[in-house]
Amino acid sequence: MIQPVILSGGSGTRLWPLSREQMPKQFLRLTSSQSLLQQTLARLEGLVTAPPILMGHHAHRFLMAEQLRESGYAGSLVLEPEGRNTAPAIACAALIARQGGSDPLLLVLPADHVIGDLTAFHSSVNAAVPLAEAGHLVTFGVVPTYPETGYGYIACGSPLGGGHRVASFIEKPNAERAKALLAQGNTLWNSGMFLLRAGSYLAELKAFQPDMLSACEAAVAESHRDLDFLRLGEEAFRRCPADSIDYAVMEQSQQAAVVSLDAQWSDIGSFDALWAAQPSDAAGNVVQGDCVLRDTHRSLVIAEHRLVATLGVEDLVVVETPDSVLVAHREYAQQVKHLVATLTEAGRSEVHTAAQVHRPWGSFQAMDSGERYQVKHITVKPGGRLSLQRHHHRAEHWVVVSGTAQVTVNERTFLVSENQSTYIPIGVPHRLENLGKIPLELIEVQSGSYLGEDDIERLDDVYARHSDE
């Protein structure tokens, strides 16, 4: 039996402003109506697998749970208190997978990749099974189609079953080196996907990174349940050295093997990759949203909130969101992370939060704000229930525009229907619920001396959140 392990802890800074710290790219619907995480779950169909283990950051737990629910899959949700890279995440998943006494093959998949040819993907996985069963740590190497500088490479060694021994791992090359590697013919892109027996990986980790294994063992031993989530022991996990599986194990192991993958793969690691992964028009443009293009060529244009028009340009990335606009040359697509670093140093909140903020009960989006007021559009999904809470610095006025709200103010509970409103004074306990079958939409007008999200005192919460979540 194959045990899928889906790594969902990345931040996707190269896709800002679409991807933010609180809404990273694996949760975005970039190439289809499904998010990248949901596409990863869907590509398991056709393989004989156990329910997946999803490894992710605790701050994204409700996004993970909601997208898992939307996909119709069952799975285990394991929360890391902070990111420690892939080697510890896989180690914890391996330890959890062995708790029942079995020693399964782990199919390790990042949650933010795109694969166009599922038949080829399944064929490569099946080809890797005998190697993994024999104790090899199998990585999947993508057959390169052009000299890419944004990926690491794998040099193939002697043939080995359905694959090859790994001769060496090659760091991301410059353009000249990438051309030489492509011409060489025996190198593959490093995809970051693996098939390996849990016990084999843990044995290699013990040999090369004993401190990491010890910390992961303690983190799993100290884990505890929180609603539908398994939280790793925080203190132990934070002691764990941070490293990738490539550096920690694969580059040192004599058991490393590689199976080729020719399946229209992309890690969507940049806007250039996002452009290349989608069908383009006759002028080579990829367009999403309300866009008008004239004399525009080979560009990626995305409009989320308003009309975007381009004229007489080529090879551009134009991304419009409700609170930010990015304009860049496609050749600079890999450098967006440096722009994000600059914004982070400047203390810009747009790096962390998007205009639309997701919560376990739904979402809200800021519409307007001033010195003593703020206007939000709030959506509460069916069955959604906000915490019983109060604010010490602001009052709120709710106007329902769609659906019916059940409102609690002090000890009184009542319904507010479409085109009706209610007022919440400062300091008064209140709660909002959607007991209906359709999303509840309302406009919230806040007024007061302080309007920050941390002015929330939660008195009761079905989602067991802290005040700042």
Compute the average pLDDT of residues 294-314: 97
Q: Report the CATH number that the domain containing residue 451 is assigned in CATH.
A: 2.60.120.10
Type of residue numbered 211: D
> What's the pLDDT band for 467 if we cut at 50, 70, 90?
low
Q: Which of 241, 266, 291 is the last residue of a domain?
A: 266
What pLDDT does 355 receive? Answer: 85
Residue 277 lies in a domain: yes
What pLDDT does 13 receive? Answer: 86
Closest alpha carbon to 354 in 2, 17, 1, 129: 17
User: Is pLDDT at 465 greater than 90 in this prediction?
Assistant: no
pLDDT tens-place string over residues 99-137: 989 999 999 999 999 999 999 999 999 999 999 999 999
Q: Are residues 281 and 374 in the same domain?
A: no
Q: Report the CATH number that the domain containing residue 147 is assigned in CATH.
A: 3.90.550.10
What pLDDT does 421 receive? Answer: 97
User: Is pLDDT at 468 greater than 70 in this prediction?
Assistant: no
Contact by Cβ (8 Å): 455, 390: no
Q: Are residues 258 and 275 in the same domain?
A: no
Residue 467 lies in a domain: no
Q: Are residues 68 and 203 in the same domain?
A: yes
Contact by Cβ (8 Å): 251, 275: no
Q: Are residues 360 and 423 in the same domain?
A: yes
Q: Are residues 260 and 136 in the same domain?
A: yes
Exposure string over 326-344, b if 16+ CB within 10 A, otherwise e = bebebeebbebeebbeebe
Q: Are residues 431 and 329 in the same domain?
A: no
pLDDT tens-place string over residues 356-385: 888 999 999 999 999 999 999 999 999 999
CA angle 425, 429, 433 (to 5 degrees): 105
Residue 350 lies in a domain: no
Residue 465 lies in a domain: no
Q: Are residues 360 and 332 in the same domain?
A: no
Give the SS3 label for residue 414. strand
Closest alpha carbon to 252 in 336, 168, 347: 168
Q: Which of 222, 249, 266 is the last residue of a domain?
A: 266
Q: What percent of the chain clears pLDDT 70, i.e. is strictly above it?
A: 99
pLDDT tens-place string over residues 27-72: 999 999 999 999 999 999 999 999 999 999 999 999 999 999 999 9
What pLDDT does 10 receive? Answer: 81
Residue 87 lies in a domain: yes
Residue 108 lies in a domain: yes
**Pairing state between β 265-266 and 2-8:** unpaired
Contact by Cβ (8 Å): 55, 177: no
What pLDDT does 469 receive? Answer: 67
Domain encompassing residue 368: 356-460
Q: Which of 214, 239, 266 is the last residue of a domain?
A: 266
Q: Are residues 276 and 340 in the same domain?
A: yes
What pLDDT does 453 receive? Answer: 87
Q: Are residues 324 and 444 in the same domain?
A: no
End-to-end CA distance of the chain: 38
Handedness of CA 124, 127, 131, 133 (dihedral sign): positive
Q: Are residues 305 and 216 in the same domain?
A: no
**pLDDT, the chain, mean:** 95
User: Is pLDDT at 163 greater than 80 in this prediction?
Assistant: yes
Q: Are residues 56 and 193 in the same domain?
A: yes
Domain count, the chain: 3
Residue 351 lies in a domain: no
Q: Are residues 179 and 309 in the same domain?
A: no
Residue 255 lies in a domain: yes
